[in-house]
Amino acid sequence: MSAFWTLVKRDLLIAAREGGATGTALGFYLIVIALMPLGLGPDMQLLSRIAPGVLWIGLLLAALLSLGRMFDTDQDEGVLEILATGPLPMELVAAAKALAHWISSCLPLAILAPVLGLLLNLELAAYPVLVGTVLAGSPAISFLGSIGAALTLRSRRGGLLIALLVLPLYIPTLIFGISAISAVVTPPGSLGSSLLLLSAVTIASLVIGPISAAAALRMQLS
């Protein structure tokens, strides 16, 4: 298991060193959310009603931006071949990289989300739920995203292709994430069951993501 954490640490070090991915995602998220009140007008009630959905969709799109970098530099430099000769099966290599992506990209976005809630006049009661749903739901973004990142390795400029492949997989996360917040903002609704379903989607993605990504990575190796 030490090889797993060695790989996670290396990817986090690279993310910190290269910096660009996290910064771009945060900047993108900020701008998309800041544009909403400008486009929709200063109707506070409207903004506060659509805030949960807008915050979640913006977060998904921002996290997508950095997915393409999960494997591509390592593929170009021949790192994947050597990782394949290591003690970890490809499934755990993919899981380590998805975990590093979650820590370096999704976690900063999750911290930014409540700040951006201010721009959209999000109801006060919704903040804890927003943070909770984003933390519970965002691992699915990285782990399901690793499938798209691995599949599009060989295609140059696979960025848009990743979005097409991966965004449909995010639908359950989006639905349960928003319904949990709506349960608090516009009752009636069940906060508990939404949160449980959101966590279930995340747990399923922790298994499905690495297994599928590993199959794609093995194909890329040959």
Residues that bind other proteins (CB under 8 A): 1-3, 6-7, 10, 13-14, 17-18, 73-74, 76-79, 81-87, 221-222
Find the shortest distance in angstroms from Cβ 3 to other proteins: 5
**Angle separating helix axes 159-166 and 44-67, nearest 10 degrees:** 120
Q: Is the Cβ of residue 59 or residue 217 nearer to other proteins in the bound state? A: 217
Find the shortest distance in angstroms from Cβ 153 to other proteins: 14
Q: Please provide residue 125's backbone torsions phi and psi, each rounded to the nearest 5 degrees.
A: -65, -20
Find the shortest distance in angstroms from Cβ 180 to other proteins: 39
Q: Is the Cβ of residue 10 or residue 49 nearer to other proteins in the bound state? A: 10
- 46: buried, middle or exposed (CB in 10 Å: 19+, 13-18, 0-12)? middle
Residue/partner pairs of 42-50 with CB below 8 Å, 24 or more apart = 44/121, 47/120, 47/121, 48/120, 48/121, 48/122, 48/123, 48/185, 49/185, 49/186, 50/120
Find the shortest distance in angstroms from Cβ 127 to other proteins: 36
Q: Is the Cβ of residue 104 or residue 133 nearer to other proteins in the bound state? A: 104
Q: Is the Cβ of residue 6 or residue 155 nearer to other proteins in the bound state? A: 6
Euclidean distance between CA atoms 202 and 176, whole angstroms: 11
Q: Are 27 and 62 in contact (CB under 8 A)?
A: no
Find the shortest distance in angstroms from Cβ 126 to other proteins: 39
- 139: nearest Cα among 200, 213, 54: 200
The H or E element spanning position 47 is: helix 44-67
Q: Is the Cβ of residue 31 or residue 79 nearer to other proteins in the bound state? A: 79
